[in-house]
Amino acid sequence: MTPVLDIYPVTYHDNPLEYFQALRQRPDAVLLDSGRPEAPGGRFDIMSSDPLDILEVAADGIATTRNGQVTSQHPFEAQQQLLEQLPALSADSPCRDCELPFVGGLIGYWGYELGRHLEPVGNKARAVTSLPLARIGLYDWALIQDHDQCKSWLVASAERRRQVEQWLGTKRPTGKFALTSEFSANLTQAEYQQRFEAVKRYIHAGDCYQINLAQRFSAHYEGDLWQAYQYLRQATPTPFAGFMAWERQSDRCQQAILSLSPERFIEACDGQVEARPIKGTRPRGSTPDEDRAMAETLTTSIKDRAENVMIVDLLRNDLGRVCRPGSVSVPQLCGLESYANVHHLVSVIRGQLIAGLSPLQLLEAAFPGGSITGAPKVRAMQIIDELEPDQRSAYCGSLGYIDVRGHMDTSIAIRTLVADAGQLHLWGGGGLVADSDANEEYAETLTKIRHLMDALISGPEQHCKQ
């Protein structure tokens, strides 16, 4: 007999840390974190664990589930097959028409290099992590917090409810975390400059209009990555954050993703689609007057607005491949949004998904997000593969969910750290256009992530002061 899902109210907390503290050591525990109460724009926290199955996409693009029931050379078709293993909701199910974003389905990440199996990109960059190209779990329950209504719910069958209540009653102390080396870059400033000049040549030759060029920083660490995530969250709360950690089955090596992303990739609900690309960044000022001046320089910058508009056009094209003709619109162009450490220009693109197409087909059509490739997308990705020495792994991919009703929300995995084999990897990048300045762009790659490095270095001291 198919378990019946129900919605049970539970105690509300103003952030998800208290609940996830008890769940984090469960198998394949996942947290999609809205960053509330500090982050603007966030609403729901979603957390779960103990999935029915896990699907991983290997470097060759072949997707396989842990129980072996799904194996496919087409990774998105395999994900759809996995999602369909959950039974459809009955007409009288309380979950069917509820406002909760997730009532069972897929949660996980899609790495940037998954795009190599969708477009003719190439394969020159070397892999620096052993993470799969994507890792997605099939979850039949979730604990959800709604910070607008200040309410929390458990979506689960009666049997799962009893299990989860036992798990939540178990106190799991957080261990210590420390970096054991400084962050080191994979490019010197001179090497970045060389690649910057190569991008300029491609732009002037007409190959592209914009390229997102990134560099990687790595450090060794020891201890509890959940503690590291808490340091990062305190330093930079964001509305599309996430934490997921697991052990590689072959050798029990811990792997994890710690994402503090401010950027939505694509949301889909009842056929309505929304993307929110970020292009244009300035640091926050140290005084109110300086902060306002920084914001004004961003909103009046012709270069930054041009970058943003290029990506809006790219995403209009991507969404147009799967949205009803005439339905794609841009209700917000280059709007200012301010976060703990930076100001951003954010645009909003909306559309209506063509009847009969699934959210996973939408994700495939637009993946990876144009805001972190450049334009035109395929040529930009080819140039990135040529110029960046290392693969991006989960960075510039996506974290998110697709539930059994067809609801989907995904992030662009910027401000994202990847843990593997005792190292933390962190990338910083930015969009380059014809009038970009090399020194300014190099500095921007550091501005975007320096606060994350500092949080991991000084986190233990901050923790002791509280």
d(CA 400, CA 110): 9
To the query of whether residue 303 is one of the catalytic residues in this protein, the response is: no
Q: Are 93 and 104 in contact (CB under 8 A)?
A: no
Q: Are 76 and 364 in contact (CB under 8 A)?
A: yes
d(CA 169, CA 19): 10
Q: Position of tokens 């914009």?
A: 210
Distance from CA of residue 322 to its chain's centroid?
A: 22
The SS3 call for residue 241 is strand
42: Cβ contacts below 8 Å, ≥ 6 apart: 33, 34, 35, 36, 147, 238, 239, 240
Cα four-point dihedral sign 121, 124, 128, 131: positive
Q: What are phi and psi of 153, to 5 degrees?
A: -140, 150
Q: Position of tokens 């300086």?
A: 290
To the query of whether residue 465 is one of the catalytic residues in this protein, the response is: no
Cα four-point dihedral sign 336, 330, 310, 302: negative
Residue 418: C-alpha distances to residues 182, 183, 200, 249, 423 (Å): 16, 13, 30, 17, 8
Q: What is the dihedral angle through the alpha carbons of 16, 19, 21, 27, rounded to the nearest 10 degrees?
A: -110
Residue 127 DSSP symbol? P
Q: How do 105-110 and 134-139 pair as beta strands?
A: antiparallel
Catalytic residue among 56, 113, 267, 279: 279
Q: Note the helical H segments in 108-254.
A: 158-168, 189-204, 225-235
Tokens for 21, please give them.
Answer: 């503290």
259: Cβ contacts below 8 Å, ≥ 6 apart: 240, 241, 242, 243, 394, 399, 411, 413, 415, 416, 417
CA atoms within 13 A on the CB side of 377: 22
Cα four-point dihedral sign 79, 318, 403, 22: positive
Catalytic residue among 56, 263, 267, 388: 263
| Counts for the chain of helices (H) and strands (E), in that order | 11, 25
List active site positions.
Answer: 263, 279
